[in-house]
Amino acid sequence: MITKETISKNEFDFSEGEVFLIDKDLGVTSFYIIKRLRKILGIKKIGHAGTLDPAATGLLVVCTGKKTKEIYKYQEKQKTYKGIISLGKTTPSMDSETEVVAEKETEHITAEQIETVRKSFLGSSTQIPPMYSALKHKGKPLYKYARQGIEIERKPREIVISNFEVNKIDLPDVYFKVDCSKGTYVRVLANDFGEKLGCGAYLKRLRRTAIGTFSVDDALTVDEIQEILN
């Protein structure tokens, strides 16, 4: 496992197989991270265990060489996120990537109402993946259909939210932490949170802080890796 504490260009064989903890920057895709690492490390076989949207930051587990066969192990692990749900506004992408299309008042929302809604998400439930996602339909990512105004039917997925904390309320913003299963879209959680409150909401900020026992505190940015290996 390559972290801040272990990285050294003389100790690893990237082609044979290594696992990186990467801290993804804001505004870039997960694929962009892989593309840069492929060039920096001089390898072709590399992949990540769980996409982060461009508007999100935080932990990516990246595998190279033969370790790419173990990506599924990391994909199955519980994910931890911290972020901000902004009440009273909705966007087509359910996050900050697209413009606000509707607004409602939030002054009447109480802490008690927010607490009731928070509790309602705990445990097992189903969630419909968003149109603005990398899921594919006929080989084409759903977000490409969404940008054309085309709606594709999606099947609900089973998810588990084992922990959901509201750490601060500063209307219209609700600061939260959530521990959830593979396949959970936090953007959809934010959207559904607003729907249950009757005012709408979108995901204003998101950072993945952990995947299983792996923490973003131990992760490297791509720029740090490039600087060290050069």
In a domain, 48, yes or no: yes
Number of independent structural domains in the chain? 2
Is the pLDDT at 197 greater than 70, yes or no? yes
How do 56-64 and 201-211 pair as beta strands?
parallel
**Set 23, 53, 95, 192: catalytic member:** 53
My answer on whether 88 and 146 are in the same domain is yes
In a domain, 12, yes or no: no
Q: Indicate whether this model's pTM tops 0.85.
A: yes
Judged by average pLDDT, the poorest of 5-14, 31-40, 102-111, 181-190 is 5-14
C-alpha torsion 109→113→114→118, nearest 10: -160
My answer on whether 61 and 126 are in the same domain is no
Is 53 catalytic? The answer is: yes
* CATH number for the domain that contains residue 59: 3.30.2350.10
My answer on whether 88 and 105 are in the same domain is yes
In a domain, 105, yes or no: yes
List, for residues 39-51, the tens digit of each pLDDT value: 999 999 999 999 9
My answer on whether 201 and 146 are in the same domain is yes
The predicted structure's pLDDT at residue 198: 97
In a domain, 6, yes or no: no
My answer on whether 27 and 135 are in the same domain is no
My answer on whether 61 and 94 are in the same domain is no
Give the chain's mean pLDDT: 93
My answer on whether 207 and 96 are in the same domain is yes
My answer on whether 110 and 31 are in the same domain is no
Residue 97 makes CB contacts below 8 A (sequence gap 6+) with: 53, 54, 55, 91, 132
In a domain, 11, yes or no: no
For every residue of 145-156, DSSP letters joined together read HHHTT-------
Alpha carbons 25 and 187: distance in angstroms, whole number: 18
